[in-house]
């Protein structure tokens, strides 16, 4: 039930209000309307103005506090704690009104903690000014709702869990060539040149480009955490080859420059697109494996690419992951892009609302102002599209997401982030109309094309938002 009293307020590690030593004595600017930025213009030769839409400026909140201690020295401790918690900030932080189910994002711009020089009191006062560049008032709870993609043939299965969320370790130290290729090795002599390029990466921002300087078999090996005899090492590497010039390929397991095993690819990957090739090898007696790699037998001048090398000491190969994919539960065990990566997450960590039906989902903004949702698309899916059927807004992505891959779309900043970190705004089809959640009911339709070999339509759209008011 809504209440008039402010109640408890949380700022960082400090709590103000009932149950604390910081009593809330006054608050201004919370329920007030921020200053309006108008676009009015006088009507020449007529009474009145021409007027355009009104927008608010920043919100400024004034907070008065009463400090209550049991002794003067304790009052000093309260003063120092408040001072430490209200330092200049690089980014806004949440001020949470716990009993009013509300939060704002702001920076402390003013702080006053007066000192009475005539007496040593157990009580004091303070005044804070919070500058909120974002004037909106948000609900404390982050809400979300999900649906699978529409599939008239296969229907839908719900609820779904994200694929590939079991614990896993990627043994490759620099799996996506994000920093450089100095920890990698060239395979098979000086018949190829290798370069780190950022023009067409499968994961992250970079991949390895290979250019054959002779007609031969050559490629790249990646350093992995050393694995002992008896260990089965599963390998997956994303590659892209041209339509002509490549005759065969292989995955290799090595100890330094000594080849332990070559697994010839049974067929060449489809040309012109990123394809994941895989292989498995159990390390023999007396052997230690510390590198895995890929090579193609190609004609002079052939150019091909490799990215996202993964090796696991397991009986099955999960979807690709490295420590930069924090939004999917991965982390580095040491130096980023120069250590193994682990995924310890065993669930989605999300609470979903009502399931959609046949690719449709309804969400409710219980606030009084438009909310900006965050949209997450989980593969496998090709060319997914999201339509807000209540107002005609729509987004279409001209790209393919494999199993274990996802895309985050922030409708406020209009960022499109592959795996939550890598910008992919160029994947957005022209003519997009960005969705916002009007107060009340909003309905969405989610569509996409299934990938070959993917049963049904397991792709998932998740919409996350907070109730929003001004």
Hey, which bits of 299-397 come out as E strands?
303-313, 330-332, 341-343, 360-365, 374-378, 381-388, 393-396
- Total structural domains within the chain: 3
pLDDT the model gives residue 376: 94
Average pLDDT of 41-63? Answer: 92
CA angle 416, 420, 425 (to 5 degrees): 15
- Looking at 82-96, 190-204, 261-275, 401-415, which range is the least confident one? 190-204
Q: For 460, how many CA atoms within 13 A lie in the half-sphere containing its CB?
A: 21
Residue 4 placed within a domain: no
**Residues shown for the chain:** 470
Which helix (H) or strand (E) segment holds residue 72: the answer is: helix 72-85
Classify each residue of 302-311 as buried b or exposed e, where b means 16 or more C-beta atoms within 10 Å of its C-beta: bebbbbbbbb
Q: Which residue in 107, 110, 82, 81 sits closest to 94, CA to CA?
A: 107
Residue 221 placed within a domain: yes
Split at pLDDT 50, 70, 90, the class of 355 is very low
Q: Is the domain of 403 the same as that of 258?
A: no
Mean pLDDT of the chain, nearest integer: 86
Residue 370 placed within a domain: yes
Tokens found for residue 189: 């002599």
Q: Is the domain of 237 the same as that of 305?
A: yes
* pLDDT tops 50 at residue 15: yes
Q: Is the domain of 228 the same as that of 153?
A: no
Q: Is the domain of 227 the same as that of 154?
A: no
Q: CA 291 → CA 220, 224, 237, 254, 435, distances in Å?
A: 10, 5, 13, 5, 47
Q: Is the domain of 121 the same as that of 148?
A: no
Domain that holds residue 99: 9-138
Average pLDDT of 398-402? Answer: 91
pLDDT the model gives residue 456: 56
Residue 2 placed within a domain: no
* pLDDT tops 90 at residue 63: yes
pLDDT the model gives residue 72: 84
Residue 250 placed within a domain: yes
Average pLDDT of 32-44? Answer: 91
Q: Is the domain of 319 the same as that of 361?
A: no
* pLDDT tops 60 at residue 152: no
Q: Is the domain of 378 the same as that of 460?
A: yes
* pLDDT tops 80 at residue 306: yes
Average pLDDT of 12-20? Answer: 90
Split at pLDDT 50, 70, 90, the class of 127 is very high
Residue 426 placed within a domain: yes
Q: Which residue in 349, 334, 343, 333 sits closest to 462, CA to CA?
A: 349
Residue 440 placed within a domain: yes
- Looking at 105-114, 254-263, 326-335, which range is the least confident one? 326-335
Share of the chain above pLDDT 70, in %: 88
Q: In this structure, are strands 22-28 and 59-68 parallel, antiparallel, or unpaired?
A: antiparallel
For residue 391, the domain's CATH number is: 2.60.120.860
Q: CA 177 → CA 168, 201, 262, 317, 335, distances in Å?
A: 20, 10, 23, 20, 14
Tokens found for residue 393: 């807004």
Residues 6+ apart with CB under 8 A from 84: none
* Helix, strand and coil percent figures for the chain, each rounded to 5: 5, 45, 50
For residue 62, the domain's CATH number is: 2.40.30.200
Average pLDDT of 360-388? Answer: 92
Residue 1 placed within a domain: no
Split at pLDDT 50, 70, 90, the class of 30 is very high
CA 239 remoteness from chain centre: 24
Tokens found for residue 355: 């399931």
Q: Is the domain of 270 the same as that of 153?
A: no
pLDDT (tens digit, 9 = 90+) per residue, 218-243?
A: 899 999 999 999 999 999 999 999 98
pLDDT the model gives residue 395: 95
Q: Is the domain of 338 the same as that of 380?
A: no
Q: Is the domain of 70 the same as that of 193?
A: no
For residue 331, the domain's CATH number is: 2.60.120.260
Tokens found for residue 224: 């992995």
pLDDT the model gives residue 161: 40
The C-alpha atoms of residue 174 and residue 197 are separated, in whole angstroms, by: 14
Q: Is the domain of 245 the same as that of 362?
A: no
The C-alpha atoms of residue 463 and residue 147 are separated, in whole angstroms, by: 9
Q: Is the domain of 159 the same as that of 84?
A: no
């Amino acid at each position: 039930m809504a209440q008039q009293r402010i109640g408890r307020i949380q700022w960082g590690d400090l709590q103000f209000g009932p149950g604390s030593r910081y009593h809330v004595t006054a608050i201004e600017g919370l329920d007030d309307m921020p200053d309006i930025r108008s676009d009015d213009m006088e009507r020449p030769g007529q009474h009145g103005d021409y007027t355009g839409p009104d927008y608010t400026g920043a919100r400024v909140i004034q907070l008065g506090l009463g400090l209550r201690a049991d002794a003067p020295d304790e009052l000093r401790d309260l003063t120092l704690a408040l001072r430490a918690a209200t330092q200049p900030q690089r980014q806004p932080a949440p001020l949470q009104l716990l009993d009013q189910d509300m939060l704002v994002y702001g920076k402390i711009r003013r702080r006053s903690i007066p000192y009475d020089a005539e007496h040593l009191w157990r009580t004091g006062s303070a005044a804070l000014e919070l500058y909120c560049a974002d004037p909106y008032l948000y609900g404390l709870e982050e809400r979300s709702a999900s649906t699978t993609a529409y599939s008239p043939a296969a229907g839908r299965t719900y609820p779904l869990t994200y694929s590939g969320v079991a614990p896993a370790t990627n043994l490759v130290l620099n799996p996506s060539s994000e920093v450089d290729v100095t920890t990698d090795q060239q395979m098979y002599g000086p018949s190829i040149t290798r370069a780190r390029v950022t023009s067409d990466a499968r994961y992250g921002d970079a991949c390895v480009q290979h250019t054959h300087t002779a007609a031969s078999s050559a490629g790249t090996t990646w350093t992995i955490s050393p694995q002992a005899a008896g260990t089965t090492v599963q390998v997956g590497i994303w590659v892209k080859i041209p339509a002509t010039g490549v005759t065969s390929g292989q995955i290799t397991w090595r100890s330094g420059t000594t080849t332990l095993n070559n697994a010839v690819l049974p067929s060449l990957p489809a040309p012109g697109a990123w394809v994941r090739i895989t292989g498995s090898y159990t390390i023999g007696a007396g052997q230690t494996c510390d590198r895995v790699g890929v090579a193609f037998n190609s004609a002079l001048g052939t150019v091909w690419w490799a990215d996202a090398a993964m090796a696991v000491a397991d009986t099955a190969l999960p979807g690709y992951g490295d420590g930069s994919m924090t939004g999917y539960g991965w982390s580095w065990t040491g130096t980023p892009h120069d250590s193994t990566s682990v995924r310890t997450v065993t669930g989605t960590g999300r609470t979903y609302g009502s399931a959609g039906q046949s690719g449709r989902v309804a969400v409710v903004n219980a606030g009084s102002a438009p909310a900006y949702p965050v949209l997450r698309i989980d593969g496998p899916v090709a060319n997914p599209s999201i339509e807000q059927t209540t107002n005609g807004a729509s987004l279409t992505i001209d790209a393919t997401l494999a199993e274990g891959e996802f895309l985050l779309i922030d409708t406020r900043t209009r960022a499109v982030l592959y795996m939550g970190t890598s910008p992919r705004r160029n994947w957005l089809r022209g003519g997009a109309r960005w969705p916002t959640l009007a107060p009340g009911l909003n309905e969405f339709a989610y569509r996409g094309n299934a990938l070959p070999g993917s049963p049904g339509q397991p792709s998932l759209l998740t919409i996350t938002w907070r109730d929003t008011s001004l």
